[in-house]
Amino acid sequence: MTSVVLIGPAPEQGIIDQLDDPETARSLASAGEVRVSRHPGGSDGFLAELAEADYLFLTGRMTPEMMRAARRLRLVAVHGTGYHSYLDAELAHQHGIAVANVPAYGDAAIAEHALALALALAKGIVPLDAAVKRGEWSMPQTVQLAGGVAGVVGLGGIGLQMVRLLEALGMEVLVWTRSADPARLAGTRAAYASLEEVFDRAGLVSLHLALGPATEGIIDASLLARARGGLILVNTARGGLIAPGALEPHLATGRIRAGLDVFPHEPPGPDEAGLVGAGDAVVLSPHVAFNTPQAGLALTRGAAANIAAYAAGEPTHLVTPPGR
Protein backbone atom coordinates (compact mmCIF):
# COMPACT_ATOMS: atom_id res chain seq x y z
CA MET A 1 0.00 0.00 0.00
CA THR A 2 1.34 3.43 -0.98
CA SER A 3 1.95 5.77 1.92
CA VAL A 4 -0.08 8.98 1.93
CA VAL A 5 1.24 12.37 2.99
CA LEU A 6 -1.66 14.69 3.83
CA ILE A 7 -1.18 18.47 3.90
CA GLY A 8 -3.83 20.12 6.02
CA PRO A 9 -6.30 21.01 7.26
CA ALA A 10 -7.03 23.49 4.44
CA PRO A 11 -3.58 25.09 4.18
CA GLU A 12 -3.23 28.76 3.32
CA GLN A 13 -2.35 29.59 -0.27
CA GLY A 14 1.17 30.61 0.76
CA ILE A 15 1.89 27.11 2.02
CA ILE A 16 0.36 25.56 -1.09
CA ASP A 17 2.65 27.70 -3.26
CA GLN A 18 5.69 26.59 -1.23
CA LEU A 19 4.90 22.94 -1.95
CA ASP A 20 6.22 23.58 -5.47
CA ASP A 21 9.65 24.40 -4.07
CA PRO A 22 11.92 21.63 -5.46
CA GLU A 23 13.48 20.76 -2.11
CA THR A 24 10.08 20.54 -0.40
CA ALA A 25 8.56 18.54 -3.25
CA ARG A 26 11.41 16.01 -3.20
CA SER A 27 11.12 15.51 0.55
CA LEU A 28 7.38 14.91 0.46
CA ALA A 29 7.47 12.68 -2.62
CA SER A 30 10.09 10.48 -0.98
CA ALA A 31 7.57 9.64 1.76
CA GLY A 32 4.57 8.82 -0.38
CA GLU A 33 1.63 10.18 -2.36
CA VAL A 34 1.05 13.85 -1.51
CA ARG A 35 -2.52 15.05 -1.01
CA VAL A 36 -3.51 18.61 -0.16
CA SER A 37 -6.68 18.88 1.89
CA ARG A 38 -9.28 21.47 0.98
CA HIS A 39 -11.36 20.74 4.08
CA PRO A 40 -11.28 22.63 7.40
CA GLY A 41 -10.13 20.82 10.52
CA GLY A 42 -12.79 18.70 12.21
CA SER A 43 -14.97 18.48 9.10
CA ASP A 44 -16.16 15.11 7.86
CA GLY A 45 -14.13 15.60 4.70
CA PHE A 46 -10.90 16.17 6.58
CA LEU A 47 -11.52 13.27 8.97
CA ALA A 48 -12.04 10.97 5.99
CA GLU A 49 -8.78 12.14 4.41
CA LEU A 50 -6.95 11.78 7.70
CA ALA A 51 -8.11 8.19 8.08
CA GLU A 52 -6.12 7.32 4.93
CA ALA A 53 -2.95 9.24 5.83
CA ASP A 54 0.35 7.85 7.07
CA TYR A 55 1.96 11.28 7.56
CA LEU A 56 0.30 14.59 8.36
CA PHE A 57 1.90 17.92 7.50
CA LEU A 58 -0.13 19.81 10.09
CA THR A 59 -1.18 23.36 9.20
CA GLY A 60 -3.84 23.91 11.88
CA ARG A 61 -5.11 22.63 15.20
CA MET A 62 -5.35 18.83 15.64
CA THR A 63 -8.13 17.78 18.01
CA PRO A 64 -8.57 14.51 19.93
CA GLU A 65 -11.32 13.61 17.45
CA MET A 66 -8.82 13.88 14.62
CA MET A 67 -6.36 11.64 16.46
CA ARG A 68 -9.05 9.00 16.90
CA ALA A 69 -9.81 9.15 13.17
CA ALA A 70 -6.14 8.81 12.19
CA ARG A 71 -5.98 5.02 12.20
CA ARG A 72 -2.90 4.81 9.93
CA LEU A 73 -1.08 7.94 11.03
CA ARG A 74 2.57 7.50 11.99
CA LEU A 75 3.84 11.07 12.24
CA VAL A 76 2.48 14.59 12.63
CA ALA A 77 4.96 17.10 11.22
CA VAL A 78 3.93 20.38 12.80
CA HIS A 79 4.29 23.42 10.54
CA GLY A 80 5.84 25.43 13.36
CA THR A 81 8.02 25.28 16.44
CA GLY A 82 5.52 25.68 19.30
CA TYR A 83 3.77 22.34 18.92
CA HIS A 84 1.71 22.88 22.10
CA SER A 85 -0.35 25.37 20.11
CA TYR A 86 -1.19 22.73 17.50
CA LEU A 87 -1.97 19.55 19.43
CA ASP A 88 -1.71 17.61 22.67
CA ALA A 89 1.61 15.85 22.09
CA GLU A 90 1.14 13.42 24.99
CA LEU A 91 -2.28 12.40 23.67
CA ALA A 92 -0.73 11.86 20.24
CA HIS A 93 1.86 9.57 21.82
CA GLN A 94 -0.92 7.62 23.53
CA HIS A 95 -2.42 7.08 20.08
CA GLY A 96 0.96 5.85 18.82
CA ILE A 97 1.56 8.97 16.74
CA ALA A 98 4.96 10.66 16.73
CA VAL A 99 5.21 14.45 16.59
CA ALA A 100 8.00 16.53 15.07
CA ASN A 101 8.41 20.30 15.00
CA VAL A 102 10.66 22.71 13.10
CA PRO A 103 13.12 24.58 15.31
CA ALA A 104 15.21 27.58 14.25
CA TYR A 105 13.43 28.36 10.98
CA GLY A 106 12.72 32.01 11.81
CA ASP A 107 15.39 33.06 14.30
CA ALA A 108 16.43 36.18 12.42
CA ALA A 109 12.90 37.20 11.42
CA ILE A 110 11.48 36.93 14.93
CA ALA A 111 14.41 38.62 16.65
CA GLU A 112 14.22 41.48 14.15
CA HIS A 113 10.51 41.89 14.87
CA ALA A 114 11.13 41.87 18.62
CA LEU A 115 13.73 44.60 18.17
CA ALA A 116 11.34 46.59 15.98
CA LEU A 117 8.67 46.50 18.71
CA ALA A 118 11.23 47.57 21.31
CA LEU A 119 12.46 50.46 19.18
CA ALA A 120 8.93 51.58 18.33
CA LEU A 121 8.18 51.88 22.05
CA ALA A 122 11.51 53.42 23.02
CA LYS A 123 11.26 56.07 20.33
CA GLY A 124 7.48 56.60 20.52
CA ILE A 125 7.17 55.96 16.80
CA VAL A 126 3.45 55.15 16.71
CA PRO A 127 2.10 58.18 18.62
CA LEU A 128 4.65 60.53 17.01
CA ASP A 129 3.65 59.34 13.54
CA ALA A 130 0.00 59.92 14.36
CA ALA A 131 0.72 63.37 15.78
CA VAL A 132 2.65 64.57 12.74
CA LYS A 133 -0.11 63.29 10.44
CA ARG A 134 -2.58 65.33 12.50
CA GLY A 135 -0.49 68.42 11.83
CA GLU A 136 1.03 68.59 15.33
CA TRP A 137 4.69 69.36 15.93
CA SER A 138 5.78 68.63 19.48
CA MET A 139 9.17 67.13 20.24
CA PRO A 140 9.02 64.96 23.38
CA GLN A 141 12.08 63.16 24.67
CA THR A 142 12.42 59.48 23.76
CA VAL A 143 14.42 56.61 25.24
CA GLN A 144 18.00 55.75 24.26
CA LEU A 145 18.69 52.02 24.46
CA ALA A 146 22.48 52.24 23.99
CA GLY A 147 24.20 52.16 27.35
CA GLY A 148 21.21 50.55 29.05
CA VAL A 149 20.55 47.05 30.37
CA ALA A 150 18.42 44.53 28.47
CA GLY A 151 17.10 41.17 29.57
CA VAL A 152 16.59 38.21 27.24
CA VAL A 153 14.41 35.48 28.72
CA GLY A 154 15.03 32.21 26.86
CA LEU A 155 18.16 31.34 24.90
CA GLY A 156 17.16 29.24 21.96
CA GLY A 157 18.13 30.37 18.50
CA ILE A 158 15.82 33.40 18.59
CA GLY A 159 16.99 34.49 22.02
CA LEU A 160 20.62 34.21 20.98
CA GLN A 161 19.95 36.27 17.87
CA MET A 162 18.25 38.89 20.06
CA VAL A 163 21.29 39.01 22.35
CA ARG A 164 23.47 39.81 19.34
CA LEU A 165 21.13 42.54 18.09
CA LEU A 166 20.91 44.20 21.50
CA GLU A 167 24.67 44.07 21.95
CA ALA A 168 25.06 45.68 18.53
CA LEU A 169 22.99 48.57 19.89
CA GLY A 170 25.44 48.95 22.75
CA MET A 171 23.34 47.40 25.52
CA GLU A 172 24.49 45.27 28.44
CA VAL A 173 22.53 42.01 28.15
CA LEU A 174 21.42 39.73 30.98
CA VAL A 175 20.07 36.30 30.06
CA TRP A 176 17.81 33.90 31.91
CA THR A 177 17.21 30.41 30.59
CA ARG A 178 16.23 27.11 32.15
CA SER A 179 19.52 25.49 31.09
CA ALA A 180 22.36 27.95 31.57
CA ASP A 181 25.18 26.57 29.42
CA PRO A 182 28.16 28.98 29.35
CA ALA A 183 29.08 27.75 25.88
CA ARG A 184 25.83 29.17 24.49
CA LEU A 185 27.02 32.70 25.24
CA ALA A 186 30.42 32.25 23.58
CA GLY A 187 31.21 35.19 21.34
CA THR A 188 28.91 37.54 23.24
CA ARG A 189 29.40 39.78 26.28
CA ALA A 190 26.09 38.67 27.83
CA ALA A 191 25.88 37.15 31.30
CA TYR A 192 23.41 34.77 32.91
CA ALA A 193 21.22 36.14 35.68
CA SER A 194 18.19 35.11 37.71
CA LEU A 195 14.76 36.19 36.52
CA GLU A 196 14.57 38.45 39.54
CA GLU A 197 17.81 40.20 38.61
CA VAL A 198 16.68 40.58 35.02
CA PHE A 199 13.52 42.40 36.10
CA ASP A 200 15.33 44.37 38.81
CA ARG A 201 17.91 45.82 36.42
CA ALA A 202 16.66 45.78 32.83
CA GLY A 203 14.95 48.65 31.07
CA LEU A 204 14.02 46.30 28.22
CA VAL A 205 13.02 42.63 28.57
CA SER A 206 12.34 40.42 25.56
CA LEU A 207 10.68 37.00 25.94
CA HIS A 208 11.88 34.05 23.83
CA LEU A 209 10.72 30.96 25.73
CA ALA A 210 8.75 27.99 24.44
CA LEU A 211 5.36 27.64 26.11
CA GLY A 212 4.85 24.52 28.22
CA PRO A 213 3.85 23.45 31.71
CA ALA A 214 7.10 24.80 33.18
CA THR A 215 6.84 28.23 31.53
CA GLU A 216 3.12 29.01 31.40
CA GLY A 217 2.54 32.19 33.40
CA ILE A 218 6.23 32.44 34.31
CA ILE A 219 6.13 36.24 33.95
CA ASP A 220 3.86 36.81 36.92
CA ALA A 221 2.69 39.70 39.07
CA SER A 222 5.62 39.42 41.48
CA LEU A 223 8.21 39.71 38.69
CA LEU A 224 6.45 42.63 37.05
CA ALA A 225 6.17 44.40 40.40
CA ARG A 226 9.98 44.30 40.66
CA ALA A 227 10.46 45.99 37.29
CA ARG A 228 11.83 49.49 36.97
CA GLY A 229 9.35 52.16 36.02
CA GLY A 230 9.41 52.63 32.27
CA LEU A 231 10.21 48.99 31.50
CA ILE A 232 9.67 47.94 27.90
CA LEU A 233 8.45 44.33 27.76
CA VAL A 234 8.45 42.57 24.40
CA ASN A 235 6.76 39.24 23.70
CA THR A 236 7.10 37.55 20.32
CA ALA A 237 7.02 34.03 21.80
CA ARG A 238 3.65 32.97 23.28
CA GLY A 239 0.97 34.95 25.07
CA GLY A 240 0.66 32.33 27.78
CA LEU A 241 4.12 33.15 29.14
CA ILE A 242 2.60 36.15 30.91
CA ALA A 243 0.27 35.26 33.78
CA PRO A 244 -3.36 36.25 33.15
CA GLY A 245 -4.07 39.75 34.39
CA ALA A 246 -0.50 40.40 35.55
CA LEU A 247 0.49 42.93 32.90
CA GLU A 248 -2.67 45.00 32.44
CA PRO A 249 -2.49 47.08 35.66
CA HIS A 250 1.03 48.22 34.78
CA LEU A 251 -0.03 49.19 31.26
CA ALA A 252 -2.94 51.17 32.64
CA THR A 253 -0.61 53.30 34.77
CA GLY A 254 2.10 53.54 32.11
CA ARG A 255 4.64 51.99 34.46
CA ILE A 256 5.36 49.29 31.86
CA ARG A 257 5.01 49.52 28.10
CA ALA A 258 4.69 46.39 26.00
CA GLY A 259 5.32 45.29 22.45
CA LEU A 260 3.16 42.25 21.81
CA ASP A 261 3.02 40.02 18.76
CA VAL A 262 1.31 37.18 20.64
CA PHE A 263 -1.74 36.98 22.91
CA PRO A 264 -3.43 34.47 25.22
CA HIS A 265 -6.15 34.07 22.58
CA GLU A 266 -5.63 34.87 18.92
CA PRO A 267 -7.18 37.03 17.70
CA PRO A 268 -7.60 38.76 21.07
CA GLY A 269 -11.06 38.50 22.60
CA PRO A 270 -12.95 40.49 25.23
CA ASP A 271 -10.68 39.12 27.97
CA GLU A 272 -7.72 40.89 26.35
CA ALA A 273 -9.34 44.35 26.41
CA GLY A 274 -6.77 45.51 28.93
CA LEU A 275 -4.02 44.68 26.46
CA VAL A 276 -5.42 45.92 23.17
CA GLY A 277 -7.03 48.97 24.78
CA ALA A 278 -3.90 50.25 26.52
CA GLY A 279 -3.31 53.06 24.04
CA ASP A 280 0.24 54.34 23.66
CA ALA A 281 1.44 51.91 26.35
CA VAL A 282 1.37 49.11 23.78
CA VAL A 283 2.49 48.44 20.24
CA LEU A 284 0.69 45.41 18.84
CA SER A 285 1.06 43.16 15.80
CA PRO A 286 -0.99 40.09 14.80
CA HIS A 287 1.47 37.20 15.39
CA VAL A 288 3.49 38.00 12.27
CA ALA A 289 7.05 38.07 13.64
CA PHE A 290 7.86 34.77 11.92
CA ASN A 291 6.15 35.69 8.67
CA THR A 292 8.82 36.57 6.13
CA PRO A 293 9.28 34.80 2.79
CA GLN A 294 12.64 33.41 3.90
CA ALA A 295 11.34 32.08 7.21
CA GLY A 296 8.15 30.72 5.64
CA LEU A 297 10.04 28.69 3.07
CA ALA A 298 12.47 27.40 5.70
CA LEU A 299 9.50 26.33 7.84
CA THR A 300 7.81 24.45 5.02
CA ARG A 301 11.07 22.80 4.00
CA GLY A 302 11.68 21.80 7.61
CA ALA A 303 8.29 20.16 8.07
CA ALA A 304 8.69 18.30 4.78
CA ALA A 305 12.20 17.19 5.74
CA ASN A 306 10.86 15.80 9.04
CA ILE A 307 8.41 13.64 7.11
CA ALA A 308 11.11 12.42 4.71
CA ALA A 309 13.46 11.58 7.58
CA TYR A 310 10.80 9.65 9.48
CA ALA A 311 9.83 7.71 6.36
CA ALA A 312 13.51 6.83 5.84
CA GLY A 313 13.78 5.48 9.37
CA GLU A 314 15.91 8.37 10.63
CA PRO A 315 13.50 10.59 12.61
CA THR A 316 14.48 14.18 13.27
CA HIS A 317 13.17 16.81 15.71
CA LEU A 318 10.78 14.47 17.47
CA VAL A 319 9.03 15.95 20.49
CA THR A 320 7.54 12.58 21.48
CA PRO A 321 8.94 9.06 21.12
CA PRO A 322 8.42 7.42 17.70
CA GLY A 323 4.94 6.05 17.15
CA ARG A 324 3.83 2.79 15.65
Which are the catalytic amino acids? Answer: 238, 266, 287
Calculate the alpha carbon distances from 212 to 27, 106, 155, 261, 316 in Å: 30, 20, 15, 18, 21
Angle of the 125-133 helix axis to the 107-123 helix axis, nearest 10: 60
DSSP 3-state of 206: strand
Furthest CA-CA distance within the chain: 72
Cα(263)–Cα(235) distance, rounded to whole angstroms? Answer: 9
**Strand segments (E) across 121-176:** 149-153, 172-176
Among 192, 104, 98, 97, residue whose Cα is nearest residue 153 = 192
Phi, psi of 187 (to 5 degrees): 85, 0
DSSP 3-state of 8: strand
Calculate the alpha carbon distances from 29 to 4, 200, 216, 249, 310 in Å: 10, 53, 38, 52, 13
Among 289, 291, 303, residue whose Cα is nearest residue 19 = 303
CA atoms within 13 A on the CB side of 4: 18
Cα(150)–Cα(146) distance, rounded to whole angstroms? Answer: 10
